[in-house]
Amino acid sequence: MSFTDEVKHEIARIKEFDLAELAALIRMNGTIQIRNKGMGLKIKIYHGDLARKIFSIIKGSFALDLQIIVKKDNHFSNHNVYELRLKAQQGVQEFLYKLGLIGQGNEIVFKIKKEFINNYGSRRAYLRGVFLGGGSINNPRSEYHLEFRCEHQSFAEELLLLLGRFDIRGHLNEHNNKYIVYLKSYEDIIMVLNIIGAHRALLKMENQRIVKEVKNNVNRRVNFETANLDKTIQAALEQLENIEIIAVSRGLNSLPRSLQEIARLRQENPYATFKELGEMLSPGLSKSGVNHRFRRLKKIADSLRGKV
């Protein structure tokens, strides 16, 4: 099951219901059919639990004659598509008007009904319905992305305004004759999940974020330590080369005792750090002291280069 399906199953089971949720769902997945006998409606649903919920609400609250037909999805043969069909009958136009889907002259309306916008609970329910009808969200293990696919630009712009009422800044893009309202910010996506009531999904996303951060921190630490190790090895090779030039050209015995000590320690411990070399000396020596001795060896080796 995809993460999108997990979210939709979770919020479809929310018992509290607001007409705004039904209005948004029909806006996203419904088709108004105009015939000689009046107006009908077809709603396409991809989740059985949601189809049953919508069926019972329309039948129970509006006493309309409604059919539900189950089909196989052409794209996913193992999935069912549920078509809720509301034939032309008395009460349909009033039903559509009440949901803000048509105006007083029976014209199609793409603006969100004001009473759904002005009431906080209805705003939340409307956004839940929009997600149920045309929302998707990436698995939290991958990049953060949540989107709503809209049929009409005017409604996509309305949706941006609705998100703005929650201080969420959405983005709009057109793709394959669809208008995509999308979010990339982790904070905004978490806020949407909280608004629509997908709290289990929210916790799962939070857990994945923590896992990601831990992995990223470990990777950064490993990369940092690997870079430091590379620098240490490169420096050690240069120091060994300087020592070899001195040994061949004039012998290590020609060096002051302090430089002989550090030169022989480096030969015996080619990949030891300055700190480790300093601790091997008696008396011990700081990292800066060890570094100073190697600089002196380099200066001597540089003066001998080309003479070997």
Tokens of 218: 């470990």
**What is the average per-residue pLDDT within 194-201?**
93
Residues 146 and 255 in one domain: no
Q: Using CA atoms of 216, 218, 220, 222 in order, give the dihedral in degrees to the nearest 10.
A: -150
Supply the pLDDT for residue 209.
Answer: 81
Residues 103 and 161 in one domain: yes
**Residue 10 contacts by C-beta under 8 Å, 6 or more apart in sequence?**
197, 198, 199, 200, 201
CATH of the domain at 130: 3.10.28.10
Residue 206, in any domain of the structure: no
Whether cis (ω within 30° of 0) applies to the bond prior to 283 is yes
Task: Tell me the pTM.
Answer: 0.68
Supply the pLDDT for residue 307.
Answer: 55
- Is pLDDT above 90 for 231? no
Instruction: For residue 180, list its beta bridge partners.
Output: 149, 173
- Is pLDDT above 70 for 75? no
Residue 202, in any domain of the structure: no
Q: Which of 146, 168, 197 is the last residue of a domain?
A: 197
Residue 204, in any domain of the structure: no
**pLDDT tens across 30-49, in order?**
888 887 778 888 998 888 88
Assess contact for 56 and 85: CB atoms under 8 A: no
**pLDDT tens across 207-225, in order?**
888 877 777 777 788 777 7
Residue 205, in any domain of the structure: no
Assess contact for 297 and 239: CB atoms under 8 A: yes
Supply the pLDDT for residue 165.
Answer: 93
Supply the pLDDT for residue 78.
Answer: 66
Residues 13 and 100 in one domain: yes
Residues 14 and 105 in one domain: yes
Residues 254 and 291 in one domain: yes
**What is the average per-residue pLDDT within 170-182?**
91
Tokens of 111: 């603006």
**What is the average per-residue pLDDT within 183-212?**
90
Residues 252 and 280 in one domain: yes
Q: Which of 136, 162, 197 is the last residue of a domain?
A: 197
Residue 7, in any domain of the structure: yes
Please state which of the ranges 59-68, 72-81, 132-141 shows the lowest mean pLDDT.
Answer: 72-81
Supply the pLDDT for residue 138.
Answer: 93
- Is pLDDT above 50 for 308? no
Residues 183 and 223 in one domain: no
- Is pLDDT above 90 for 148? yes
**What is the average per-residue pLDDT within 50-73?**
85
Residue 102, in any domain of the structure: yes
- Pairing state between β 66-72 and 80-86: antiparallel
Quickly count: other Cβ atoms within 10 Å of residue 14's Cβ.
Answer: 14
Rounded CA-CA distance 219/202 in Å is: 26
Assess contact for 93 and 119: CB atoms under 8 A: no
**pLDDT tens across 236-291, in order?**
888 888 898 988 888 889 999 999 999 999 888 887 888 889 999 888 999 899 99
Which pLDDT band, with edges at 50, 70 and 90, does 205 fall under? confident
Residues 157 and 285 in one domain: no
Residues 37 and 132 in one domain: yes
Supply the pLDDT for residue 306.
Answer: 66
- Is pLDDT above 60 for 76? no
Supply the pLDDT for residue 288.
Answer: 92
Range of the domain at 94: 3-197
Assess contact for 181 and 150: CB atoms under 8 A: yes
**What is the average per-residue pLDDT within 118-127?**
93
Residues 268 and 123 in one domain: no
Q: How many domains does the chain have?
A: 2
Burial of 29 (0-12, 13-18, 19+ CB in 10 A): buried
Residues 133 and 83 in one domain: yes
Percent of the chain with pLDDT over 90: 41
Q: Which of 162, 197, 232 is the last residue of a domain?
A: 197
- Is pLDDT above 90 for 142? no
**What is the average per-residue pLDDT within 132-138?**
93
Supply the pLDDT for residue 180.
Answer: 94
Quickly count: other Cβ atoms within 10 Å of residue 87's Cβ.
Answer: 17
**What is the average per-residue pLDDT within 179-196?**
94
- DSSP letters, the chain, are --HHHHHHHHHHT-----HHHHHHHHHHHEEEEEETTEEEEEEEES-HHHHHHHHHHHHHHH---EEEEEEE-SS-TTSEEEEEEE-S-TTHHHHHHHTTSB-TTS-B--SPPHHHHHSHHHHHHHHHHHHHHHEEE--TTS---EEEEES-HHHHHHHHHHHHTTT---EEEEETTEEEEEE--HHHHHHHHHHHT-HHHHHHHHHHHHHHHHHHHHHHHHHHHHHHHHHHHHHHHHHHHHHHHHHHHT-GGGS-HHHHHHHHHHHHSTT--HHHHHHHSSS---HHHHHHHHHHHHHHHHHHTT--
Residues 95 and 189 in one domain: yes
